[in-house]
């Protein structure tokens, strides 16, 4: 009897994103601190005996997601993850993949990477590959820079392309408000804008170091200290491509956010609150500003990719 296996993977926000000059292959060396948030992508995998992969997409109830830009073919990251896993483990079965999206598309929150991580975990189980977590992590790195963190979750430092992970110590829960836009920003175009800026200045950031203030604030569980330590080298480029995000950052400031930042390559704005209650008040303020298409609250750190048991 065929059975359906479900896995869920978290969204992320970058608490620090320091970007170096591009390498010859176009990729940029990063020092980043990721935090997983409790907004989830769910992937359902049902084996097929004909060797084919098929993919369908839904939106989770109430999620701020316009899924019209999600590819339904072999370019979808979840599809690529299933293909890579099958090739690696000599699997001849196919799979029906059903994605239930809870993370904005092209929002700088790694929704596609979460789908890839969840597809790896769900298909590994559905096909009974016996793959270890370490083997899945190796495949995740081949799928994209953010995919290993989607698998790992919690809070972690990312080096190299962002895919060389070290767990970070944290204390307690952090409460976030996420202001999303219907129009996404493409990650390569934000990195390209970053490159134009460093060419104009004729130099990139000279040192790439883990921000001690971020690490100390995480260990202390101190949202005020963490809020003032948030940094993102891609924020300037994202603002240049979508200037209205500047008004959202100002609105978060006016709502007394501990700190607010463009998440990764944007355009989601992530604002850190003092408490869950403050997050709800800030969300109401940002909704009333009408500067975002949707505003949701989330908490971190959330777990990495896990199987959902029925």
Which residue ranges make up the annotated binding site? Answer: 104-114
Residue 184 interface partner, choices ligand ADP, ligand SUD, none, CB cut-off 5-8 Å depending on type: ligand ADP
Q: Which residues contact 167 (CB under 8 A, 6 or more apart)?
A: 152, 154, 155, 156
Q: How far is the CB of 150 from ligand SUD (least distance, A)?
A: 9
Question: Which own/partner contact pairs does 67-74 have at CB distance under 8 Å and 24+ positions apart?
Answer: 67/101, 67/105, 69/105, 69/106, 69/184, 70/99, 70/101, 70/105, 70/112
Size of the site for ligand ADP (CB under 6 A): 20
**Dihedral of the alpha carbons of 247, 249, 251, 253, in degrees to the nearest 10:** -140
**CB-based contacts of 90: which residues, under 8 Å, 6+ apart?**
none
Check if the beta carbon of residue 230 is closer than 8 Å to that of residue 64: no
Report the interhelical angle of 111-126 vs 133-143 (nearest 10°): 140
Does 26 bind ligand SUD (CB under 6 A)? Our answer is: yes
**Closest distance to ligand ADP from the beta carbon of 234 (Å):** 11
The yes or no reply on residue 76 touching ligand ADP (CB under 6 A) is yes
Q: Does 181 bind ligand SUD (CB under 6 A)?
A: no
In the chain, % helix, strand, coil (3-state, to 5) comes to 35, 30, 35
User: Among the residues of the chain, which ranges form H helices?
Assistant: 77-89, 111-126, 133-143, 147-152, 187-201, 212-220, 223-229, 235-241, 245-254, 276-289
Per CB under 6 A, 161 contacts ligand SUD: yes
Inter-axis angle of helices 133-143 and 77-89, nearest 10: 130
Asked if 102 is part of the footprint of ligand ADP (rule: CB under 6 A), the reply reads no
Candidate residues 187, 232, 297, 305; the one interacting with ligand ADP per rule CB under 6 A: 187
- Position among 108, 148, 184, 267 found at the interface with ligand SUD (CB under 6 A): 108
Give me the catalytic one of 66, 115, 146, 222.
146
Per-residue binding letters, 54-73, with ligand ADP (x by CB under 6 A): ---------------xxx--
R_g of the chain computed on alpha carbons: 19
Does the bond joining 267 to the residue before it have cis omega, within 30 degrees of 0? yes
Per partner kind, with CB cut-offs from 5 to 8 A, the member of ligand SUD, ligand ADP, none near residue 111 is: ligand ADP
Annotated binding site for ATP: 104-114
User: Minimum Å distance from CB 235 to ligand SUD?
Assistant: 11
Active site annotation includes 12: yes
| From the list ligand SUD, ligand ADP, none, partner contacted by residue 162 (C-beta under 5 to 8 A by kind) | ligand SUD
Residue, CB closest to ligand SUD: 264
The residues carrying an active-site annotation are: 12, 146
- Footprint on this chain of ligand SUD (rule: CB under 6 A): 14, 17, 26-28, 30, 32, 108, 110, 113, 144-146, 161-162, 187-188, 191, 264-265
| Contacts with ligand ADP, residue ranges (CB under 6 A) | 69-71, 76-78, 99, 105-113, 115, 184, 187, 265
């Amino acid at each position: 009897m065929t059975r359906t296996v479900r896995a869920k993977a978290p969204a992320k926000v970058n608490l620090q994103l320091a970007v170096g000059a591009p390498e010859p292959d176009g990729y940029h060396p990063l020092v980043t601190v990721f935090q997983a948030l409790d907004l989830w992508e769910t992937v359902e995998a049902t084996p097929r005996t004909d060797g084919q992969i098929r993919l369908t997409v839904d939106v989770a109830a109430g999620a701020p997601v316009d899924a019209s830009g999600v590819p339904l073919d072999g370019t979808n990251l979840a599809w690529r993850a299933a293909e890579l896993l099958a090739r690696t483990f000599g699997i001849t079965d196919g799979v029906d993949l059903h994605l239930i999206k809870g993370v904005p598309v092209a929002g700088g929150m790694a929704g596609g990477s979460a789908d890839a991580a969840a597809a790896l975990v769900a298909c590994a189980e559905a096909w009974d590959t016996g793959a270890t977590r370490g083997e899945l992590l190796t495949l995740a790195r081949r799928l994209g820079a953010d995919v290993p963190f989607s698998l790992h979750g919690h809070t972690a430092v990312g080096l190299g392309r962002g895919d060389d992970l070290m767990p970070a110590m944290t204390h307690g829960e952090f409460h976030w408000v996420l202001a999303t836009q219907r129009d996404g920003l493409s990650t390569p175009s934000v990195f390209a804008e970053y490159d134009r800026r460093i060419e104009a200045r004729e130099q990139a950031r000279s040192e790439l170091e883990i921000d001690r203030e971020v690490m100390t604030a995480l260990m202390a569980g101190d949202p005020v200290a963490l809020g003032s330590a948030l940094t993102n080298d891609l924020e300037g480029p994202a603002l240049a491509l979508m200037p209205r995000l500047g008004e959202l950052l100002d609105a978060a400031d006016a709502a007394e956010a501990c700190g607010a930042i463009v998440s990764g390559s944007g355009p989601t704005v992530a604002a850190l609150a003092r408490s869950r209650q403050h997050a709800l008040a800030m969300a109401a303020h940002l909704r009333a500003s009408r500067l975002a298409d949707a505003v949701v609250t989330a908490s971190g750190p959330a777990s990495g990719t896990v199987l959902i048991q029925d």
